[in-house]
Every structure is written in structure tokens, then in C-alpha cells.
Amino acid sequence: MKAPPFSYLRPEDLDAALEVLAAHKGDAVVLAGGQSLMPSLALRLARPAALVDINRISQLTGIELRGDRVRIGALARHCEIAQSDLVASHLPLLRTAIGHVGHRGVRNRGTFGGSLANGDPAAELVACAVALDATVQLRSLRDERRVAAGDFFQSPLETDRRPDEILTEVLVPARRPDEVFGFRELSRRTGDFAMVGVAARARLLEAGLRDLRLVVFGCEARPLLSKAAARLVEGTPMDEASARQIAAAVAQEMDPMADLAGDASVKRRQARALVARLLMEMAHG
């Protein structure tokens, strides 16, 4: 199939792009990397009146350290994140996860902001944003607002971004000296979306893991930030028995969607195994 007809606009600055979105009143879409949008257009799953190409807007680029947070511009390519020494030092979870995103061609064009704005619950960067307690910044002609990543993703391919808004940047807390991270996913092939995945951040103290943010992704309508894992890890020395106990609680907390990769019981069993292994890896630094 071919894409339906649409107007193509390529504004040079952010205000001009926002004016276009406001004028089209929800009937325009934003083009960044296009790795999800272009297939949707080709299959006529998306039928916008206008396509707004934001790739020339310099305000949306860059990766920099701002105090105790890392600012990642919406147009930062996946390959930039993979090659950034700043990301490797301050956001090692992102550095690990980015290698699981698609293939080289996808990483060369795909953008961090585009991945989050698309809101696919099987996307690695969506899960990492929640695990890292990132903040998403949105701009419109009306105002500017910040939304916690945990509140931003609402359902498959649905986020809190309004039709007249552009996701401009993401602010991510930088690594603290006592923090450890973990990432695991199960996919059919390298580069495929995860059938089940786990991303986590925690403090590693003499008493064990603390302040755990563990996210299960790829099998629910949105990333699951596990309350059970955060509760049970407190005051618990991490050994194989406790890791299995916490993993079992996470599995019961889940509400997996059945698909071609398996039913709910399969997803819970896979997640239980991934979580137990991840917790042991994190506990040993």
C-alpha cells in the first residue's frame, strides 16, 4: 500500500512547528526518526492531513549534564546515545538497553523522543524511562509542562502528549555512586521487540538492594513499575531464595496480554525467571 495524501511541512524552529500543530487541531503528526510513523502511513493506519518534520529544529538536539540530571533532546538519535560517554557514565542502563533497540539502521534514524512519544509498551527505552524516573517535557503554544515518565505512558501507543504538543526533551536523574542497574529481555530474534523484558535501578548497600525501581515491559498495556518488588526488597538480604520470592510476587502483580508469543501464564513464568536472575546480578554489583 501507499501512504494517503498529506501536506509536508518542515519548520526551522520550535515555535513554527507548534503553530502548525495548533492550526491543524489534531490532524497533524510529528515526524522525527519515522521508524514507527512511516510504516503506519504506508499501511494507512495513520491518515494525517499534515506531516510536520521537526528534524531541522536545533533546540531539540543534544545530550548534556545539567546538575544532577542528564538532559536528552527529543531528536537525540539512538546511535548518539549508544556512543555518548556521558550516557555511559551517568545512565548505564540506557547504554545497555540501546543495544537491544532494533538494528543499526533503526538506531541511526530513530530518536529518543520519538520512541517515548510513540509509547509502545514493548519498547526498551519506554521501560528505561520509567525505571530511571525520567521526566518528559512537553511544549505547546499555550504552555510548557513536565510529566513523570510513570504517568506519561497510558496504554498501547497512547501517551499523555496532547495533539498540539511536541515532546522537546527528557530529563533523567544521573547515576549516584551507590547505584546499580539491570536489564534483561526475551525476544524471538536480536532486534525484535521484547516478548518480556525487565529494566531496574536500585541502590546497592551493605544490607542489600534498596530503593528498587523494577519495570516489567513487553507483555502489558503499559510498563509495570512493580510495587511488590520495591516493598519486598527492603530489609531483605538478597540470595537466590529471596530473589525467587520477589520474582514470584512480581509475576502475580502482572496482568499480561495473551498474544502469539504466549498466554498470560507463559508471560508470568518468563518474567519470573528474568526478574530472579536480574536481582541476583544487581545484588552482586
C-beta separation of 71 from 27 below 8 A: no
CB atoms within 10 A of CB 102: 20
Instruction: Tell me the backbone φ, ψ of residue 7, rounded to 5 degrees.
Output: -85, 140
Domain-wise residue ranges, the chain: 7-53, 58-173, 182-283
Low-confidence ranges of the chain (pLDDT < 70): 1
Instruction: Please list, in sequence order, all residues whose beta carbon lies within 8 angstroms of the beta carbon of residue 83, skipping any fewer than 6 positions away.
Output: none
State the pLDDT at residue 1: 67
| Residue ranges of E strands in 127-227 | 135-139, 144-148, 153-155, 158-159, 166-173, 179-186, 196-205, 208-217, 224-225
CATH code of the region 7-53: 3.30.43.10
The secondary element (H helix, E strand) that includes residue 50 is strand 50-53
- List, for residues 197-250, the tens digit of each pLDDT value: 999 999 999 889 999 999 999 999 999 999 999 999 998 889 999 999 999 999
Does the 58-173 domain belong in CATH 3.30.465.10?
yes
CATH class, domain 182-283, is alpha beta
State the pLDDT at residue 190: 84
Side chain identity at residue 170, one-letter code: V
